[in-house]
Amino acid sequence: MKAFRELEYGNIFTYEDSKDTFLAPLAHGGRNHVYNQRVWIGNALKECEQGWRWAKVMQTVAHVIVDEVERDGNTWYVVERWNIKPVH
């Protein structure tokens, strides 16, 4: 697993590449991109409080799907853009 520090709040997240993929636009909108990484969130000490989110992690930015909204029969994905720094 790899890790990054989210710069706004200083939280550290681990992530991994996935064989599965998910298509959604980036945080600023536009065409769909492949989300092929899983960012682990929650309390690492309590497995029942941990989950993952689809993400596209790059060197200094991660686009993370944090929610989905059903509107007019369509599903819209809520994507946040996180400024990050790799953790080694």
pLDDT in tens, 23-65: 988 888 788 899 999 999 976 666 666 799 999 999 999 999 9
How many structural domains comprise the chain? Answer: 1
Q: Mean pLDDT over all residues of the chain? A: 90
**Shortest CA distance to 59 belongs to which of 85, 35, 34, 21?**
85
Which structural domain, as residue segments, surrounds residue 19?
Answer: 2-87
CB 29 within 8 A of CB 77: no
Q: How far apart are CA 4 and CA 10, in angstroms?
A: 10
Q: What long-range pairs does 19-24 form, CB within 8 A, spacing at least 24?
A: 22/54, 22/65, 24/54, 24/65, 24/77, 24/79
According to the model, what pLDDT value does residue 75 have?
Answer: 87
Q: How far is CA 43 from CA 35, 50, 76, in A?
A: 23, 5, 27
pTM over 0.75: yes
According to the model, what pLDDT value does residue 46 have?
Answer: 62
When comparing pLDDT for 5 and 76, which is higher? Answer: 5
